[in-house]
Amino acid sequence: MVGAIKIDNVTKTFINKQKETITALKDINLDIPANSFISLIGPSGCGKSTLLRQIAGLIAPTSGSIKLDGVTISSPGPERGFMFQEHNLFPWLTIYDNIAFGLRARGIFKEQKSRIDEYMELVGLRGFEKYYPHQLSGGMCQRASLARALVGHPSVLLLDEPLGALDAFTRMNIQDEILRIREEKNMTMIMVTHDVDEAIYLSDKIVVMTPRPGMITSVVDVELPRPRDRSDADFLKYHGEILKQLKFGGFKKEPEYSI
């Protein structure tokens, strides 16, 4: 199936300014099925964003491999959309031109420009084509960022804590939009988050990671029907379980999971 990811024994190290070797991730093994929603959760500095950037092809593992549909990831590609923590829209471009930027960069704007209207409609931005980022709210800019990540029809959408700076109401609204788009477009989504409620609300499975060096302490199956009720007793049970794991878990030496 399109959008399946295999992470095989990935370790990532960096050299800091003091010439010391820092291990950000150690022995990460995951099989992520196509069309699933996975959240990575763990303490700050545990390597969640580093892992996401390796899946994106922005940085390479020190050892191990990451494959998308059986092909080793060695660089960024249009089959992986990326939504950053900040919207990163170009302030000198209109919303329309920001969303169109990737299509123009790939030289396929003329053939595919109908996608821009499609995705502006999909994220609720129809009518704002000629606006500039500074004229829109933070939530609307994140919607534009989401449309920009989706317009190339990726099989995988990578979300690096993109809703953390939004107010609670806007955040929940965009969470629902992300779920709707995922169901409509049938794609794999992987999100980095520090928000336990967000992870439970969105995910099929939650990958709980240890403090640095980042390892996998557990994978939690979220077996709740959709739409999910954040006040439901079963929802709150998951919340307590994951908080407990984040506080007390995280030291399994050789974690390996297929999800």
Residue 242 belongs to a domain: no
Collect all residues with Cβ–Cβ distance below 8 Å to 137 and sequence separation of at least 6: 170
Residue 183 belongs to a domain: yes
Q: Which residue has the higher pLDDT, 164 or 30?
A: 30
Q: Which domain holds residue 197?
A: 5-221
CA 26 to chain centre: 20
List, for residues 121-179, the tens digit of each pLDDT value: 989 999 999 999 999 999 999 999 999 999 988 999 999 998 888 888 989 999 999 99
Query: Which pTM was predicted?
Result: 0.90
**What percent of the chain has pLDDT above 70?**
95
pLDDT class of 72 with cuts at 50, 70, 90: very high
Whether the predicted pLDDT of 203 surpasses 80: yes
- Residue 254 pLDDT: 42
Supply the CATH number for residue 35's domain: 3.40.50.300
- Residue 214 pLDDT: 93
Residue 250 belongs to a domain: no
Residue 254 belongs to a domain: no
- Residue 94 pLDDT: 97
Q: Which residue has the tokens 């955040």?
A: 171
- Residue 158 pLDDT: 97
Torsion over CA: 230, 233, 234, 236 (sign): positive
- Residue 1 pLDDT: 54
